[in-house]
Structure 1
């Protein structure tokens, strides 16, 4: 596909669900992991459990994520697992077929539209932030208080201005390249 949104909604919207960066993270995490559970996403991203659980619930309601059935899981299916096979002690999730198709459409053009719709000069800010690793490392034109506040709200930076583990994983999983 061309990376466009087939629902003809604004970038970052899917069937009425406004996709937040945490939603993108869960989708990208599940694409990389194959299947995983909420507490592992929390452990990796350092986001609150309630935020991840809410995002999973939103994505399930939109039809992008589904529960994974069965009592055991092999490493070939759960790529972040270290053991060959583990018994499930959590509720595991995976991308639905619809979710897989949606994630495949996420390309650089889609990401640019998404981040620019999220906040002013969003795409350039995200790319520069991924390069510099801190708010103070952004070009002066982006070191405005309203951008800093947006980055804090989306949990891209800490109150001290350093990028968060969540942001770094989001950039890595979405394969956003700094210049």
Structure 2
């Protein structure tokens, strides 16, 4: 590189990695949880474990996520844990310093640009969908079959049009960021 900013021109890009909603979810989850493991992220979001593992691998390669070392973990570090201290039986991950800085830069403007880059009127659709919970309740001018298909591909809605657990958690995690 010739000294240019390492962040891509598109908001959904970071050092050549096109950030998908699942990447954003993992970043937001780790920001809120402190440290966690892939199986728990998959269980909470109701996404396939392989999808979460692929997202973690992508984010690790990009330098945004790193493995957490040690054999035990305290609740003060893993905020979603109920026990005071837990011995690790999984590979735990956390945001790297670079990941922490990246997540801090995410604000309402960034999210608007990000969702608009995913699909036409993405920001408006995501906001309406988060309020209504059903595709059928969106404004009539955006009820198009291709939008329904894209929302399903990103796992925002079920085949019946209801929002998924993944979408609801993503919105809840990002709520403080401007949605």
TM-score by length of 1: 0.95
Deviations 1:30-62 (A, max 9, x none): 000000000000110000000000000000000
Tell me if the contact between 2:108 and 2:178 (Cα under 8 Å) persists in the aligned partners.
Answer: no
Q: Following superposition, which runs of at least 4 residues in structure 1 exceed 3 angstroms of deviation? A: none
Whole-Å Cα distance in 1 between the matches of residues 8 and 41 of structure 2? Answer: 30
Q: Give the corresponding residue for 1:149.
A: 149
Q: Give the corresponding residue for 1:115.
A: 115
CA shift, 1:177, in A, is 6.1
1:164 paired to 2:170: no
Q: Which runs of 5+ in 1 are unaligned?
A: none
* SS state at 2:77 partner: coil
Q: Give the corresponding residue for 2:89.
A: 89
1:78 paired to 2:75: no
Whole-Å Cα distance in 1 between the matches of residues 107 and 54 of structure 2? Answer: 25
Whole-Å Cα distance in 1 between the matches of residues 71 and 148 of structure 2? Answer: 44
Deviations 1:61-102 (A, max 9, x none): 000000000000000000000000000000000000000000
Q: Give the corresponding residue for 1:56.
A: 56
Tell me if the contact between 1:75 and 1:82 (Cα under 8 Å) persists in the aligned partners.
Answer: yes
Q: Which runs of 5+ in 2 are unaligned?
A: none
Whole-Å Cα distance in 1 between the matches of residues 6 and 127 of structure 2? Answer: 26
Q: How many residues align?
A: 174
Q: Give the corresponding residue for 1:42.
A: 42
CA shift, 1:7, in A, is 2.3
CA shift, 1:155, in A, is 0.1
TM-align CA RMSD: 1.2
* SS state at 1:47 partner: coil
* SS state at 2:99 partner: helix
Deviations 1:108-130 (A, max 9, x none): 00000000000000000000000
Closer, same or farther: CA 177–7 of 1 in aligned 2, 3 Å: closer
Whole-Å Cα distance in 2 between the matches of residues 41 and 91 of structure 1? Answer: 12
1:21 paired to 2:21: yes
Whole-Å Cα distance in 1 between the matches of residues 6 and 162 of structure 2? Answer: 36
